[in-house]
Each structure stands twice: as C-alpha cells, then as structure tokens.
Amino acid sequence: MARTDAPEDENDSAWRQRAVSRSLNAARARAEKRVERFLDAAFALVDDKGNTEFTIQEVVDRSKQSLRGFYQYFGGKDELLFALLEETIRESVEDLKAAIESESGPLERLRAFTIRLHEWCEPVETPRKRKAYSRLPISEFSLQLAVKDPERVSAVMAPIARILLELLDAAVAGGAVKATDTRRTAVLIQQTVMYGWLMNRLVQNPRMRVTAEETWEFCLHGLRG
C-alpha cells in the first residue's frame, strides 16, 4: 500500500503546487497593475504641477484607488518618490542604450551617451516613452532624494555609472581618449553632465546656458588633456 500511495501523494502535491503558483501569479499581476496606476497618477501630477509637491490623497484620487490600497504598496510619499526615480532611471537606461547602439566607434558612442544623459538631466519637451508624460529631470529629482537617503540614490543611479565606465574604458582602450583612472574620470564626467542644470537655473539669459553639445566638448577636451 505504501508504494501505491506515494505516487498519489506526489501527484497531489504537484497539483497543489501548480494551483498555488497560478494563484500567486494572478495576485502578482493584479498587484502590478495597481502599482502601475499609482505611478501613472503620480507622473501625471508631476506634469500638472511641474514638481513633486503633490499629496498622497491627490495620487489616490487621480488613480481612482483607495488610501488603504496605497499603503499596501508604499510606506509613504518618500517611498513613492523613490519608485518614480527608479522607474525614470530604468527608462533612461533603456534610452541611453538605444542612443549608444546607434553609433559604432567608441568615441561616437561616448558622445551619444553624454548628449543623451544631458537631455535626461534638463527639463525638456520630449515626451516620455512610458506614457504621454514629460521626462522627469533625473538630476534634480535624485538630488532631492539624496538628502533623505544618499546610499539608496547611489544604488539606483548605479546602472548609468556602469554604462559610462564601460564606454570610457572602451574609448581609452581604442586610443580615442586619454585617462589614467577611468573610474574617477567617469565620476567627473557624470557629475559635470548631470548637475550642470543647477547653474543653468541661475543664468537669466537663455543664450548663456550650457548646452549638451558644449558639455560634451568640455568633457572631451578634458579627456584629451
């Protein structure tokens, strides 16, 4: 009897595992849709206001969901803002990779990255790919959140830093640029590109603001010594 019962138990266990798996997958899909609605509502509010000065209740109302539902997925507004930053970085990385892949030479690929990153760090009119929303200026956004949790912001920004370092290493290896310490040079380039927006905000004359092309030329001359 023990021999005949064992396969039935195993089959029953496998059936239960499949049923539980289907149930969990369905619950996960529903949760992802609810989270997506909260994120879409928050992005839309950023567009309307031009900043992140919205309330949780506004997000709840815009998403047509409940306050209780919001707190099932987010610990508060800061948690939501970090989710927006992570989503924006994810989208920017995809866009940066697409810009890089359109070029073949190591110097051209490094330039494409620098120009596109500058565009992501300045408020622009280019629509977001995610929906019809405007791109969030990730430099300003990350600076705000870095005050609250610098380590988390650094971790979120890591994919951008890795891409830049890979491009710089390739450009140095190909003899296109010179840099004795590519890791430190990558940090300098990233900081120059990402946070130039701050000084641009202080310049009253639009024609005096530093452009993406000028930023690239500055970094290029620095790389060539």
**What is the mean predicted confidence (pLDDT) over 87-96?**
91
pLDDT at 133 over 60: no
The angle formed by the CA atoms of residues 48, 54 and 58, to the nearest 5 degrees, is 90
Q: What is the pLDDT of residue 145?
A: 86
Q: What is the pLDDT of residue 127?
A: 46
For the chain, give every domain's residue range.
Answer: 1-74, 76-225
Q: What are phi and psi of 178, to 5 degrees?
A: -120, 135
Q: What is the pLDDT of residue 99?
A: 96
- In this prediction the pTM is 0.78
pLDDT digits (tens, 9 = 90+) for 18-37: 666 666 666 788 888 999 99
Using a pLDDT cut of 70, give the percent of the chain over it: 82
CA dist., res. 96 & res. 109, Å (int): 10
Q: What is the pLDDT of residue 1?
A: 47
Give residue 136's identity as a one-letter amino acid code: L
Residues 177, 168 contacting (CB under 8 angstroms): yes
pLDDT digits (tens, 9 = 90+) for 56-78: 999 999 999 999 999 999 999 99
CB atoms within 10 A of CB 189: 27
CA dist., res. 77 & res. 70, Å (int): 10
pLDDT digits (tens, 9 = 90+) for 41-51: 999 998 888 78
CA dist., res. 45 & res. 59, Å (int): 8
CA dist., res. 87 & res. 41, Å (int): 13
Using a pLDDT cut of 90, give the percent of the chain over it: 47
Q: Which CATH architecture has domain 76-225?
A: Orthogonal Bundle (1.10)
Q: Which two tokens stand for residue 38?
A: 């909260």
pLDDT digits (tens, 9 = 90+) for 147-160: 888 999 899 999 99
State the Rg of the chain over Cα: 23
Residues 194, 113 contacting (CB under 8 angstroms): no
CB atoms within 10 A of CB 204: 7
Q: What is the pLDDT of residue 137?
A: 65
